[in-house]
């Protein structure tokens, strides 16, 4: 080990001397000038380390712990062979009766985890804006998935803002709308999710776990609209009722 | 086509490897408890915005909840989390105008080592954050990880995806650059300079 290599290693371990190699430690013991230089570096490093941010937001731990809900189904899979077998049969059945490509749950599942957090105020918006037009400007400037032609009354509906996320390995945007009865609707926008994850071109409505959902695609862009408001409110928003 | 949102129906893509450890795998809660504070400090030092830092930490643990089970080596949990957060931050930073998508090469930027008799600059939390913000990302990331003391320099190299030697040289240069920025901030805020500011 050269003197310069020893200095680099010593400098990289001033705050964690346990990481120092035996060779560098030996050099340090034999070279008083090197030891003095290391002491000066450590003194500065300790003062900087002491000024690093310490505070963690109140409630962050609790907000993180709820994220495990998104993976709970995986735990069930791991621990319950019967559940896994039944799920496999259902999946196979779905593949057989479904024309075309099979389901791709990844981006929708991941986006819904964040949608639930937004609905319950457990995560914050990336940008706040009161209109879809303003959000389009924000998203286009950042080359983030942006809403194209919107059906029904969506262009006129007041927004809270948007959140930029990753879903299924793709950048995605969630836009939060303010509905008439004080409830919210959340629009997930994702580009190039692949043919397996692409919904039909016309909005397809369904209900699941207390959510009313609509999914559709427009070219390479896929949309998922989710709300806990009733199905009639969802249809009004989409111009279907 | 229906919307496929029913959770739990996606079969594993690869066979689950046999675990050789006898200890039970740490629970999600245990992993959160062990690492969320360090991750938040890392995120906050990198982005300086509390809301963005919290989002970065949330995205990191969301990724862990989804993909953590694929990590074979349980000793790498911490590195996995810091790597994930760093990549999330990189993704966000590159989308912002102020961080153009340019790979910084710190080794091209010479930094002079301070003279031994130079007084040490004052270090407080606010000044340090301002100084860190002025560092290039290629310097800031290893330096912040170093000062958080969570990771060894080898783990920092793993986290950032660069060779160990590169991390060591970047750390050394980044410290000198930080010291220089702190000193210049201190000079800017010196009473003599403040008094010479034009009055409104």
Asked if A118 and A79 sit in the same domain, the reply is no
Q: CA nearest B167 in A: which residue?
A: A12
A78 contact B CB<8A: yes
CB–CB contact B58 A100 (8 Å): no
Q: In this model, does residue B198 exceed pLDDT 50?
A: no
Q: How many CB atoms are closer than 10 A to CB A113?
A: 21
Whether A196 and chain B come into contact, CB under 8 Å, resolves to no
pLDDT of residue B178: 94
CA distance A187 to A9: 51
Q: What is the residue-wise DSSP string for A122-179?
A: -S--SEE-SSHHHHHHHHHHTT-----SPPTTGGGS-EEEEEEEEETTEEEEEEEEE-
Contact B50 A117 (CB under 8 A): no
Of B5, B45, B66, the CB nearest to A71: B66
- Residues A111 and A146 occupy one common structural domain: yes
- The contacts of residue B143 (CB under 8 Å, 6+ apart) are B132, B135, B170, B171, B174, B175, B178
Partners of residue A48 in chain B, C-beta under 8 Å: 123, 128, 147, 178
Q: Is B58 on the interface with A (CB under 8 A)?
A: yes
CB contact under 8 A, B36 and A61: yes
pLDDT for B116 equals 59
A131-145, B31-45, B64-78, B100-114: range with lowest mean pLDDT: B100-114
Q: In this structure, are residues B58 and A64 in contact, taking their beta carbons and an 8 Å threshold?
A: yes
Q: Are residues A133 and A177 in the same domain?
A: yes
Cβ contacts of B62 on chain A, cutoff 8 Å = 67, 70, 110, 113-114
* Radius of gyration, alpha carbons of chain B: 21
Q: How many other CB atoms sit within 10 Å of the CB of residue B104? A: 14
The answer to whether B23 contacts chain A (CB < 8 Å) is: no
Mean pLDDT of chain B: 76
A109 belongs to a structural domain: yes
User: What's the fold here for domain B28-95?
Assistant: Rna Polymerase Sigma Factor; Chain: A (1.10.1740)
- List A178's β-bridge partners, or say none: A184
What average pLDDT does this structure show over A72-78?
Answer: 39
Rounded mean pLDDT, B157-180:
94
Q: Can you tell me the ipTM of this complex?
A: 0.74
B141 membership: H or E segment, kind and range: helix B137-148
**B172–A12: do the CB atoms touch at under 8 Å?**
yes
Chain B residues inside the 8 Å CB shell of A114: 62
Mean pLDDT confidence for B6-21 = 37
Q: Do A70 and B62 touch (CB under 8 A)?
A: yes
Instruction: Please check whether residues A201 and A93 belong to one and the same domain.
Output: no
Residues A226 and A132 occupy one common structural domain:
yes
CB pair distance less than 8 Å for A105 and B6: yes
Q: What is the mean pLDDT of residues B16-22?
A: 42
Chain B, window 59-88: residues with a beta carbon less than 8 angstroms from a chain A beta carbon: 59, 61-62, 65-66, 68-69, 88
Query: Which residues of chain A make contact with B93, given a CB cutoff of 8 A?
Result: none
Per-residue pLDDT at B6 exceeds 70: no
Domain B119-190 architecture: Orthogonal Bundle (1.10)
| H helix intervals, B151-196 | 153-160, 164-188, 191-195
Using DSSP's 3-state secondary structure scheme, residue A190 falls into strand
List of chain A residues whose C-beta atoms are within 8 Å of the C-beta of residue B169: 8
Asked whether residue A139 falls in the same domain as residue A84, the answer is: no
Cβ–Cβ gap B41/A53 under 8 Å:
yes
| Per-residue model confidence as pLDDT tens digits over B84-115 | 999 988 887 776 544 443 343 444 334 445 55
pLDDT at B190 over 70: no
**Percentage of chain B exceeding pLDDT 70:** 70
Mean pLDDT along residues B177-199: 69
Q: Examine the pLDDT at A209 and tell me if it is beyond 60.
A: yes
Q: Does B196 touch chain A (CB under 8 A)?
A: no
Q: What percent of chain A has pLDDT over 70?
A: 82
With both helix axes pointing from N to C terminus, report the angle between B164-188 and B153-160 in degrees, rounded to the nearest 10. Answer: 100
CB contact under 8 A, B51 and A74: no
| B101: exposed, middle or buried (Cβ count in 10 Å: 0-12, 13-18, 19+) | exposed
- Measured CA to CA, the distance from residue B126 to residue B18 in angstroms comes to 49
Point out the least confidently predicted range of A152-166, A220-234, B7-21.
B7-21
A158 and A67 together in one domain: no
In the prediction, which pLDDT does A237 show? 93
Point out the least confidently predicted range of A201-205, B97-101, B134-138, B179-183: B97-101
Q: Which are the contacts of B79, defined by CB distance < 8 A and separation ≥ 6?
A: B151, B155, B158, B159
Q: Do domains B28-95 and B119-190 have the same CATH topology?
A: no
Condensed to tens digits (0 to 9), the pLDDT of residues B124-168 reads 888 999 999 899 888 999 999 999 999 999 999 999 999 999 999
Q: Which residue of B has its CA nearest to A45?
A: B147
| pLDDT value of residue A227 | 94
Q: Do B1 and A40 touch (CB under 8 A)?
A: no
Domain count, chain A: 3
List of chain B residues whose C-beta atoms are within 8 Å of the C-beta of residue A206: 2-3
Do the Cβ atoms of A213 and B10 come within 8 Å?
no
Between A60 and B118, the more confident residue is A60
Across the interface, do B172 and A74 touch by the CB < 8 Å criterion? Answer: no
A25, part of any domain: yes
Task: Give ∠ CA B161-A15-B46 in degrees, rounded to 5.
Answer: 50
Residue A21 has pLDDT above 80, yes or no: yes
Tell me which residue range forms the domain holding A89: 61-99
The domain ranges of chain B are 28-95, 119-190
Taking residues A117-129, report their average pLDDT. Answer: 82
**Residues A16, A112 within the same domain:** no
Is A55 within the bounds of a domain? Answer: no
Q: A11 and A72 in one domain?
A: no
Indicate if A129 and A91 belong to the same structural domain. Answer: no
| Domain end (from A40, A74, A99) | A99
Q: Do A47 and B120 touch (CB under 8 A)?
A: yes
The verdict on a CB contact (< 8 Å) between B41 and A54 is yes
Same domain, A160 and A66: no
Q: What's the CATH code of the domain at A121?
A: 3.40.1000
**Which is nearest to B78 in space by CA: B151, B148, B24, B28?**
B151
Are A34 and A88 in a shared domain? no
Mean pLDDT score of chain A: 81
A53 part of contact set with chain B, CB < 8 Å = yes
């Amino acid at each position: 080990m050269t003197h310069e290599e020893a200095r680099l290693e010593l400098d990289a371990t001033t705050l964690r001397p346990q990481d120092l190699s035996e060779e560098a430690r030996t050099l340090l013991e034999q070279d008083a000038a090197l030891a003095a230089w290391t002491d000066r570096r450590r003194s500065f490093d300790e003062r900087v380390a002491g000024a690093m941010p310490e505070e963690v937001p109140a409630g962050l731990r609790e907000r993180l712990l709820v994220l495990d809900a998104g993976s709970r189904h995986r735990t069930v899979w791991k621990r319950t062979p019967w559940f896994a077998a039944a799920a496999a049969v259902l999946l196979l059945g779905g593949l057989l009766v479904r024309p075309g490509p099979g389901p791709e749950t990844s981006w929708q599942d991941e986006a819904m985890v964040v949608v639930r957090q937004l609905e319950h105020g457990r995560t914050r918006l990336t940008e706040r804006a009161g209109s879809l037009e303003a959000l389009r400007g924000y998203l286009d400037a950042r080359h983030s998935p942006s809403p194209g032609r919107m059906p029904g009354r969506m262009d006129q509906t007041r927004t809270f803002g948007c959140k930029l996320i990753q879903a299924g390995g793709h950048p995605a945007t969630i836009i939060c709308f303010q509905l008439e009865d004080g409830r919210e609707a959340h629009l997930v926008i994702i580009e190039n999710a692949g043919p397996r994850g692409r919904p039909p071109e016309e909005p397809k409505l369904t209900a699941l776990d207390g959510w009313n959902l609509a999914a559709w695609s427009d070219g390479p862009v896929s949309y998922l609209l989710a709300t806990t408001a009733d199905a009639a409110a969802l249809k009004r928003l989409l111009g279907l009722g | 086509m229906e919307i496929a949102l029913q959770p739990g129906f996606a079969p594993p893509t690869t066979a689950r490897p046999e675990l050789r450890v006898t200890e039970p795998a740490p629970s999600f809660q245990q992993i959160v408890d062990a690492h969320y504070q360090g991750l938040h400090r890392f995120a906050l030092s990198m982005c300086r915005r509390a809301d963005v830092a919290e989002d970065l930490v949330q995205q990191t643990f969301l990724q862990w909840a989804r993909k953590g089970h694929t990590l074979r080596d349980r000793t790498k949990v911490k590195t996995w989390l810091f790597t994930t957060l760093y990549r999330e931050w990189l993704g966000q930073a590159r989308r912002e105008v102020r961080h153009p998508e340019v790979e910084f090469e710190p080794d091209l930027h010479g930094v002079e080592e301070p003279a031994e008799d130079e007084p040490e600059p004052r270090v407080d939390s606010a000044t340090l954050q301002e100084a860190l913000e002025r560092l290039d990302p290629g310097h800031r990331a290893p330096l912040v990880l170093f000062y958080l003391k969570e990771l060894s320099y080898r783990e920092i190299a793993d986290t950032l995806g660069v060779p160990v030697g590169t991390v060591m040289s970047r750390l050394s240069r980044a410290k000198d650059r930080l010291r220089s920025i702190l000193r210049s901030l201190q000079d800017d805020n010196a009473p003599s300079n403040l008094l010479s500011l034009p009055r409104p």
